[in-house]
Amino acid sequence: MPRLSQQLHPHREPVTPLHAATVLLLRDAPQPGGGSTLQVLMTRRSDKASFVPGAYVFPGGGIETQDADPATHALADHRPAQTAARLTDALAAIRESFEELGVLLARHGDGRWAGADDIAAIARQAPAGTTFAAQCAARGLRLAADRVYWLAHWTADRNLPKRFAVPFLVARMPEGQEPVADESEQFEPVWVSPADALARHEAGQFFMIFPTIRTLQRLAQFADVDAVLAAVAHEQPLWVSSPRSGLLGGKEARFMEDEAPFGELALVTPTGRGEHALDWQSETPVPLLKNVQRLTAPNPGVMTGPGTNSYLVGDPATGYIAIDPGPADTEHLDKLWRAAGGDIRMIVCTHSHPDHSPGAAPLQAMCVRAGRAAPPILGLPSAPTARAASQFTPDRSLQDNELLTLAGQGPDGEITHTLQVIHTPGHAANHLCLLLREDGLLFSGDHILNGSTTVIDPPDGNMADYLDSLDRLDALCAEHGAEFILPAHGYVLGGPEDGARTAIARLKAHRLAREAKVLAAMQAQPEGSMDDWVRLAYDDVPPRMWPIAQRSLLAHVERIRMLEPGND
């Protein structure tokens, strides 16, 4: 975890979330030309509601004492794997769907769903002295909690003044029932396909909040109700999320854990403030912590994403280490130098590729011209296998596990920033990563990127070395409790909810899955060419990217052949 003394914002405890439950009632609607479309039941909240007035939502509401009462549980059918907590959630959702829409998820003893007579006989708001479940029992009905499944779990963004923690449940709409809104909390019940709801929202005709939008986006991937219920039959949610917010184009935007900006927001605003600007720009440094700044070079492209990230580690009391000065772009280097107040003590290049190391010498010269001592250029020299454009010779070669330390006297006493050097061949033979030990930050160069996988280009790149280096980084993150990865391209990865080790494990799994496709392609066409294999192994990648993908394909092929029996 980063030191509290290095956080940009004072700690602010998020509001404790209230517990609620919501249910997506689903049906397969016949289409005029044949076939059917998955639809979900939604309603519009009252314009006077205290929470998201006027929004289209799924029925649901707060969990009440009666929902958790064992006496209520005894009046419900449930699956053996349905825990008491999940049963409480389901009963709250069943009660709310009846109170708000008159939909009754309950069955008679012979299996018949509740009918119009049952619905008319039960008060939507139970009279004093009884409960919703007791009213159902008096009609010979048992609550059908066994037909309610856990789809997802949402906890509202930490920066909101009112927050809810809500399981999103799913159930098939009972046959023969029609929704009728209570006309006090909910209005205008409507059956809508996920795609149509999203299109209407985009057109400004169907206001929805972030969790509803994201849920519909994922629901749109399913063909019918059976497919949804099959996906949730294992009793685990398909996703769990507590989104984080930042600024894009000056407007608030929210992101889930699997979206690129999430880790950066977790680092910069851990308790949720929504103030961090996420727009990529090359004009001004972006503070990530008090002792870490990022300045992105103006070299965006297919291979560099938004550009190469140069980092400054340190503060005015200790001076700064510049990591990956980037291309020899005078304006970029001048901004980097000024952000450090001219006090750059070391320049470290993670590897010798032309978007990382050429700026080192001119940055060093800038410091000398200003009357400062020349900061040493550190790294590993390019190997003989490096391409001509990637030639690099540092002033001094770094040793594996060497510590680079900045120290000074801060307002609260002595302060240090220590970078541990880790040799991580794979993307390049001379690649290294750096771990800021006091704050648990991994500067990953091109070994780990956000938003794409790095190219492994033989002979300087080696897939076996790359995977071994991932294992080493994983062990190092475990040893030092590192939660965040700061890549040379893209936003920060990781965070307390989705740490550095999770990101590394996901990346390794992706690489091995790709390698399995490469092996399958080789087996399907044993006499095939690289062009043949890339079409099969990278069929999920746009063809325009196949020439680039073919470099990593060759690295996979080399590793596969190395692992063949007799090639030890």
User: What pLDDT was estimated at residue 566?
Assistant: 64
User: What pLDDT was estimated at residue 34?
Assistant: 82
Q: Do 234 and 285 belong to one domain?
A: no
CA distance 170 to 23: 5
Q: Do 196 and 293 belong to one domain?
A: no
Express each pLDDT in 384-412 by its tens digit: 999 998 999 999 999 999 999 999 998 88
Mean pLDDT for 246-264 is 94
Percent of the chain exceeding pLDDT 90 equals 88
Q: Do 443 and 387 belong to one domain?
A: yes
Mean pLDDT for 313-335 is 97
- Is residue 502 situated within a structural domain? yes
**Residue matched to tokens 């794997």:** 81
- Give the range of the structural domain holding residue 74, as residue numbers without chain letter: 18-242
CA distance 267 to 294: 13
Q: Do 233 and 318 belong to one domain?
A: no
Higher pLDDT, 191 or 495: 191
Q: Do 301 and 202 belong to one domain?
A: no
Q: Do 269 and 399 belong to one domain?
A: no
Q: Which of 49-53, 397-401, 442-446 has the lowest mean pLDDT?
A: 49-53
DSSP per residue over 260-283, as a string?
Answer: TTHHHHHHHSTT--S--B----SS
Q: Do 271 and 288 belong to one domain?
A: no
The confidence band for 179, taking pLDDT boundaries of 50, 70 and 90, is very high
- Is residue 263 situated within a structural domain? yes
CATH number at residue 417: 3.60.15.10
User: What pLDDT was estimated at residue 273?
Assistant: 81
Whether the pTM exceeds 0.75: the reply is yes
Mention every residue, 6+ apart, whose C-beta is less than 8 A from residue 18.
62, 162, 163, 164, 165
- Is residue 371 situated within a structural domain? yes
Express each pLDDT in 503-556 by its tens digit: 999 999 999 999 999 999 999 999 999 999 999 999 999 999 999 999 999 999
Q: Do 382 and 487 belong to one domain?
A: yes
- Is residue 130 situated within a structural domain? yes
* 379 φ, ψ (degrees, to nearest 5): 155, -155
Domain boundary among 186, 217, 242: 242
Q: Do 324 and 434 belong to one domain?
A: yes
CA atoms within 13 A on the CB side of 333: 21
- Is residue 4 situated within a structural domain? no
Dihedral over Cα of 406, 407, 408, 409: its sign? positive
In 401-499, which residue ranges form alpha helices assigned H by DSSP? 463-480
Q: Do 257 and 369 belong to one domain?
A: no
User: What pLDDT was estimated at residue 202?
Assistant: 94
Q: Do 80 and 159 belong to one domain?
A: yes
CB 160 within 8 A of CB 175: no
CATH number at residue 67: 3.90.79.10
Structure token pair of residue 560: 């596969």
User: What pLDDT was estimated at residue 53?
Assistant: 87
Mean pLDDT for 437-444 is 97
- Is residue 394 situated within a structural domain? yes
- Is residue 520 situated within a structural domain? no
- Is residue 214 situated within a structural domain? yes
Domain boundary among 187, 220, 242: 242
Mean pLDDT for 120-137 is 93
Domain boundary among 242, 259, 288: 242
Closest CA to 171 of 193, 196, 146: 146
The total number of structural domains in the chain stands at: 3
User: What pLDDT was estimated at residue 568?
Assistant: 58
The whole-chain average pLDDT of the chain stands at: 94
Express each pLDDT in 474-495 by its tens digit: 999 999 999 999 999 999 999 8
Higher pLDDT, 293 or 53: 293
Q: Is the peptide bond before 17 cis (omega within 30 degrees of 0)?
A: no
Inform me whether the pLDDT recorded for 318 exceeds 80: yes
Express each pLDDT in 335-358 by its tens digit: 999 999 999 999 999 999 999 999
**Residue matched to tokens 């409790």:** 481
CA distance 349 to 392: 9
Mean pLDDT for 128-153 is 96
User: What pLDDT was estimated at residue 167?
Assistant: 97
CA distance 453 to 156: 31
Express each pLDDT in 422-439 by its tens digit: 999 999 999 999 999 999
Helix axes 546-563, 500-524, angle to 10 degrees: 80
Closest CA to 490 of 319, 222, 296, 311: 296
Q: Do 398 and 476 belong to one domain?
A: yes
The confidence band for 274, taking pLDDT boundaries of 50, 70 and 90, is confident
